[in-house]
Structure 1
């Protein structure tokens, strides 16, 4: 085909008139090209955005002015601009502090509530894996923090943005080779935190706690609660323990573990027996919530549980009397005492929290448990833990670790919203 000279001349002038600025130059040049004029970078940059325009048959693209900082300006690189799915996994994006193992001459940090991990699972009787619980729970908390909270939605209150300074102290170093040393390490880590001071002293006194920070522990199997109770007892005296669990965990050590060796006496099913024996529990103010698992020796286990000073609410009581009545019974039982909540994730039904060591069917739904915790507003909560989270048995949707993180969010609400 032979093109006419008139067409070629017309094509030449048409091409010559096309803009030389490319898409990249127009929309990304000032951001990606460091040779651009500084004034241009600090000024406004044109960006396209889509807008539905019914008068012009659908979506139309328009230019919008967007302010961008200069290359040496770093205000938009701070942690407040970090996407929820990124960053170092402190619980709910809280600041990470060095809280134990401090040099004696070091300046001691000050805060009101500490999150601390207890990566330990060599006290279990069934499936292991809870040593990875602290890391999993922190991962499950990524959508929480200053700009997002279960409490903020349901109660109009955000525990991460109120009077209390909340920090993540990381994990206590716990050896996997000797339970006695590991549990002592956790106790000493808690003691180190309890020996620090709170930021808001007047509020702590008003809430009748002490001037020691309060601790929420990420387990770990349930044995770790013994170390947490020991340190809390030394600060606060005997405690009213609210024990959310499928199992009683007051088993006689001669029945669970101790018949093998004295070393095995203390485990995730006997720690409440020893807490009672040591005097950490306030007589007449301790209660199990969510029981449904079989006993080993039904009559004697029930008798021994009473000797350890526990009342009971079963999982099915929520169907019989409802959430509000269960909460009222718990609050009446603990009264004005200083309260420690220990929360085994298996109290939630395995349909909602499969990632645990000893699943028992017939538990609470996640919604029911969060509503029940909300109804406990007003108790004097000085410490808490969430234990038995085993991420290896969770779904790929992280439903167990997400539920565990939401429970901790509720604990923070109970501690701070007073």
Structure 2
């Protein structure tokens, strides 16, 4: 009875938060504080940007995995897993760190000037669903938890256009899900979940590493469990038929290799490569052009963003840092250039807050990158077939 009342009150809060979209810019969370009243004297309670419980962008929190009656158009969900990493652990704290880094996103109303949209005040109901419960003692079971938790969030009716046909295998319109990792191993169970809903999809992969290594090359593959890690998950995804052949692309690559054969194996997995250093010759526009030509604008696309795409000067708090990466400004420009691509789901991974500076460089960069991705999703419109982008 208590839980039902709690969920009902949460749903009412979400309805109130999303009920009026007539204003393009809404008041930030600094409005409504106890400026003229002492606590307990009446008035409206509101948290300042540095107080309150952290959700992504201060979005409403609802326990989506505890109730199938909660609906949304875009949901954030955490996957606190890091036992597939080969170097520095700590990404299990990524979801909470990214939420902390996102506190200021809606401070002034949430309007995205370059993309001319406000993802916090649009047609879309957007909420934070909390974290998927993930064991730290059994990788196989943990990946199963992530897959099933994600699919539970992905497979329900969205708030908008739920009765219209969509691009899913069952011809239905589904919500979008943005996952906060976690090390990059989590992308395999997430793609398994996506495959159950959409079939094989095209992937845009931002990373400094290929992550298509054969298990015998990366990790030695002493067991089936060890063969699945944050450097081999795309190899397994290709073997399982989760990737749409020859429509996938890496961006930001600058890792050392075991040899040229690694590139050959990457080709077998269906990827094209954009090296990080290409930004010096073709610029951000050239990189955007390569990505758009590879994945197109109509087919369903999954976007996976490893924070180590950024140079350690901008994002030191990551599992396997590599020098020579892009700046935060360059990455955000490239992400904005993906406007119009049919991104059905996304993740951000390898944020390990323990290695961050006191200024929270990495967690803020991760949150801002997701703000761009969320804005692109909102501008594209609902995932129903024939939906019209917000700005048209």
Q: TM-score range by the shorter chain?
A: 0.7 to 0.9
Structure 1 residues 167-225: Cα deviation after superposition (integer angstroms, max 9, x where no partner): 10101010000100111001110111122210001697589894221110100000001
Secondary structure, aligned partner of 1:358: coil
CA apart distance, 1:145? 2.7
Q: Is the 8 A contact 1:126 1:357 kept in 2?
A: yes
Give the counterpart of 1:309 among 270, 274, 295: 270
The reply on whether 1:139 has 2:100 as its aligned counterpart is: yes
Structure 1 match to 2:119: 159
Q: 1:411 to 1:204 in 2, by over 3 A?
A: farther
Normalised TM-score (structure 1) = 0.78
Give the counterpart of 1:228 among 171, 190, 203: 190
User: Could you tell me how far apart the structure 2 residues matched to 1:161 and 1:410 are?
Assistant: 15
The reply on whether 1:367 has 2:356 as its aligned counterpart is: no
User: Could you tell me how far apart the structure 2 residues matched to 1:99 and 1:86 are?
Assistant: 24
Structure 1 residues 295-348: Cα deviation after superposition (integer angstroms, max 9, x where no partner): 12x221111100000000000111110111211110111012111110000010
Q: Is the 8 A contact 2:308 2:315 kept in 1?
A: yes
Q: Which has the larger radius of gyration?
A: 1
Q: 1:205 to 1:262 in 2, by over 3 A?
A: same
Q: Is the 8 A contact 2:102 2:368 kept in 1?
A: yes
Give the counterpart of 1:83 among 45, 48, 62: 48
Q: 1:204 to 1:375 in 2, by over 3 A?
A: farther
Kindly report which structure 2 residues correspond to 1:247-262, keeping only aligned pairs within 5 A, or say none: 247-262=209-224
The reply on whether 1:283 has 2:251 as its aligned counterpart is: no
The reply on whether 1:92 has 2:57 as its aligned counterpart is: yes
Q: Is the 8 A contact 2:167 2:198 kept in 1?
A: no
Q: Is the 8 A contact 1:207 1:380 kept in 2?
A: no
Structure 2 match to 1:238: 200
CA apart distance, 1:72? 7.1
Moved more, 193-202 or 377-386: 193-202
Structure 1 residues 4-58: Cα deviation after superposition (integer angstroms, max 9, x where no partner): xxxxxxxxxxxxxxxxxxxxxxxxxxxxxxxxxxxxxxxxxxxxxxxxxxxxxxx
Q: 1:406 to 1:210 in 2, by over 3 A?
A: farther
Q: Is the 8 A contact 1:146 1:161 kept in 2?
A: no
Normalised TM-score (structure 2) = 0.83
User: Could you tell me how far apart the structure 2 residues matched to 1:415 and 1:210 are?
Assistant: 18
Q: Is the 8 A contact 2:94 2:350 kept in 1?
A: yes
The reply on whether 1:174 has 2:134 as its aligned counterpart is: yes
Let me know the Cα RMSD of the aligned residues: 2.1
Q: 1:70 to 1:359 in 2, by over 3 A?
A: closer
User: Could you tell me how far apart the structure 2 residues matched to 1:379 and 1:243 are?
Assistant: 14
Structure 1 match to 2:30: none
Structure 1 residues 383-412: Cα deviation after superposition (integer angstroms, max 9, x where no partner): 101100000111010000000000110110
- Unpaired stretches in structure 2, ≥5 consecutive residues: 1-33, 381-392
Secondary structure, aligned partner of 1:313: strand
The reply on whether 1:118 has 2:79 as its aligned counterpart is: yes
Higher strand share: 1
User: Could you tell me how far apart the structure 2 residues matched to 1:372 and 1:183 are?
Assistant: 30
Q: Is the 8 A contact 1:146 1:160 kept in 2?
A: no
CA apart distance, 1:248? 0.2
| Runs of 4 or more above 3 Å deviation | 66-75, 146-149, 202-210
Structure 1 residues 58-98: Cα deviation after superposition (integer angstroms, max 9, x where no partner): xxxxxxxx995698775421xxx321111111111111111
How many residue pairs are counted as aligned between the two chains? 344
Q: 1:275 to 1:173 in 2, by over 3 A?
A: same
Structure 2 match to 1:327: 288
- Unpaired stretches in structure 1, ≥5 consecutive residues: 1-65
Secondary structure, aligned partner of 2:151: helix
Give the counterpart of 2:320 among 346, 358, 369: 358
User: Could you tell me how far apart the structure 1 residues matched to 2:220 and 2:200 are?
Assistant: 26
Whose RCO is larger (CA < 8 A, sep 6+)? 2
